[in-house]
Amino acid sequence: MKAKRILVYLVHMVTLLCLLWGQSLRAQSCVDYVNPLIGTQSSFELSAGNTYPVIGMPWGMNSWTPMTGKPGDGWQYTYTAHKLRGFKQTHQPSPWINDYGQFALLPLTAPALPTESDTAALHAWQKRIFSDDETSWFSHKAETATPYYYSVYLADYDTRVEMTPTERAAVFRVRYPEHPTEGRGRWLRLDGFAGGSEITVIDPFTVIGTSRKNSGGVPDNFACYFVLHFDSPIVEVSQLTTEEKPGEGKRAWAACRFEGRDLTFRVASSFISHEQARVNLSEAKGNFDEVKQAGRAAWEDVLGRIQVEGGTAGERTTFYSALYRCLLFPRRFYEIDRKDDPIHYSPYNGSVLPGYLYTDTGFWDTFRALFPLLNLLYPDENIKMQEGLLNAYRESGFFPEWASPGHRDCMVGNNSASVLADAYLKGVQVADTHTLMQGLLHGTRAVHPQVSSTGRKGWEWYNTLGYVPADVGINESAARTLEYAYNDWCIYRLGSSLGWESAMLDTLAGRALNYRHLFDPETRLMRGRHRDGSYRTPFSPLKWGDVFTEGNAWHYTWSVFHDVQGLIDLMGGEQVFAEMLDSVFSTPPVFDESYYGFVIHEIREMQIADMGNYAHGNQPIQHMVYLYNYAGRPWQAQQRVREVMSRLYSPTPDGYCGDEDNGQTSAWYVFSALGFYPVTPGTDQYVLGSPLFSRVVLRFPDGGSTVLEAPNNGSDTPYVRSVEIDAKAWSRNYLTHEQLRQSSTICWEMDAKSNLLRGTADDDKPYSFSVEKR
């Protein structure tokens, strides 16, 4: 009996060790946690992320997605759909911005092609095959989605489709039925989309095409040139050109038939030429599995910059899926020529030029956390993005605010100033500081002649009165004023580091305090103001839009990123400030949507979250929970951060509480799970919250690393008892950029009870501009 017990014990221990070993391996394979389907259960009325499964490389120029929506539908893949329409090359950053550089492929089986002499039968065949209604049922049970590989079973065709991408190309592997039913053949349908497209069969192994469909932001000569190369010969072709709506542009279709059951083909595209598309096709070297493994390795490399331990499996999936979303946009819009040099088609002037260019991001969203994340962990990629921004200015006369692929008229603010200044101040430094300064200053006193969201709309009023008036025909004036004030502070900070002349710095420093002009001491909220100085009436703090952007006064009052202490002083001190923060959550989720004329999805997402008037599904308020640190109440920030992470994010198709928005809402989660957040890009500080995991290793591209530890951390320990940096006590409510990059270990002691003594001194508060100026 004793020997038997020992044997059972040994078996138990071996099993336990195997399980632990397996968990360790899984913890090291960051990419295996990523679920690209999170956030895809969305619609026009309600966003649960408004994402689609992006099958591509980190920051890849081209991405691919399975397509459930019709061409032109911004919701190109929705989780609740039952049928697939094909596989689409996509560049879409948002359903509201829509797509460009797009075309689609659909492997299918179809009846034999009628002879050309049987005109009626041929017309009927083409009408059926070349139609948006030609689809196949599919199931998520027979679907595999990873960042680097996608597979699905097309039930109506008894066909399995796999695809794996490179940066500018992709490899497809198709297994058709061995014996297609009803005399059907094995076909591949190509759709160039409306807007002016062409498809040409060059030889039995090669097809080229051109797609011009876009959603704006391009010159007249814009085109996406694509090429397909098959490993099996085309044995039959049918082509058709249609024009469904007058003025929409011709739509080219082609269907190619193949004999064999298995088909592998490669596809690439270029915004420069078909010749460059062939150069890009060379990225897809090797067989399908080799390309797939290279893609997996590329993702593991960038995701592995953050290695987490602890938490639940769901939290790790949520974390790495969010990090994956952070590494998609802005995308590379440059290509590598035959000389191995970067070149790009300019969506700003239509020329082909040397150098880097990136696109598909809106700085109104991403200045807040996405770009600070790149500065911290991916400076090697962000330096090329910064060089690309200088190229955008050289080619268009403005830094972009929302680019896809060129300037788009969307949102407000001059937040390119934040993106450029924060990068430079954190060591991601472009060499041409003259052009950097020139472009930033130009943006403070100009607006793009065709795109009013680029530059500063209302700059004349702002520079004269100190605010954009609400009665001069400029919408969302208060939002613009608050963001311009922060943007001026960013330029001031950069100018100070570069030694700009004192007169210019004094002007910028004065404008950085312009937020004060909108503060109403009676309501303790920001309000729109008329040019005569009077406040806009009637005033409802619950009115969305009007003088604000996709939010109300309860949301935008906190948009004083650079001077929270100044805002505390205006409100009457820390106690009142903290009570106002509390009021955001205690105010019922009532709203006034009259500015829009209907309930926009951002409002609905706030309403159903059951967190009062806190609207985490939209960007303006996402930093607000961290502001308790400035009022000497860090424990309230810790509690609220944990609440938002646990309630509003999940590893499910409805896993976001609003638009994901080019990585911003994901970056909030990534930072918050690490235990800190960049409330004020342009400083070197990250304001403390509540770390989610027990251990995290940050790995930097220079080979250095920093360990973040929170032993015994769990869902019941949201509060910070103490913090140590390299075994030395740290009482401040922030960490610095240098500490995160240079420290060996940063350790949190977590607790189930709040520590009402730590982080309460004035010196513990994070940066505020008015304190610096005293």
406 and 343 both lie in a single domain: yes
pLDDT value at residue 774: 63
Q: How far apart are CA 524 and CA 755, in angstroms?
A: 29
666 and 608 both lie in a single domain: yes
Domain count, the chain: 2
278 and 312 both lie in a single domain: no
Domain boundary among 262, 278, 303: 303
- Residue 433 domain flag: yes
- Residue 195 domain flag: yes
199 and 343 both lie in a single domain: no
- Strand order through the sheet with 676-677: 676-677, 685-688, 734-736
DSSP structure string for 115-142? PTT-HHHHHHHHHHHSSTT--EE--GGG
Domain boundary among 303, 323, 339: 303
Give me the CATH number covering residue 237.
2.70.98.10
324 and 258 both lie in a single domain: no
- Structure token digits, residue 111: 């009846």
pLDDT value at residue 2: 43
375 and 275 both lie in a single domain: no
pLDDT value at residue 5: 42
189 and 200 both lie in a single domain: yes
748 and 662 both lie in a single domain: yes
Q: How far apart are CA 32 and CA 146, in angstroms?
A: 8
Task: Quote the domain boundaries for residue 299.
Answer: 61-303
Residue whose entry in the numeric block shows the structure tokens 């040397």: 354
173 and 159 both lie in a single domain: yes
Give me the CATH number covering residue 536.
1.20.1610.10
Q: What are phi and psi of 5, to 5 degrees?
A: -65, -40
- Residue 415 domain flag: yes
Domain boundary among 303, 330, 355: 303
299 and 310 both lie in a single domain: no
360 and 478 both lie in a single domain: yes
- Residue 627 domain flag: yes
- Residue 503 domain flag: yes
pLDDT value at residue 545: 97
pLDDT value at residue 488: 98
DSSP structure string for 626-660? GGGGGGT-HHHHHHHHHHHHHHH--SSTT-SSS--
- Residue 7 domain flag: no
Residue whose entry in the numeric block shows the structure tokens 């795109």: 451
- Residue 41 domain flag: no
Average pLDDT by stretches of 10, the chain with 774 residues = 41 38 54 98 97 98 98 96 98 97 98 93 95 97 98 98 98 95 92 97 98 96 98 97 86 97 98 98 96 98 98 97 98 98 98 98 98 98 98 98 98 98 98 98 97 97 98 97 98 97 97 98 98 96 97 98 98 98 97 96 97 97 98 98 98 98 98 98 98 98 97 96 97 98 97 97 97 78
316 and 277 both lie in a single domain: no
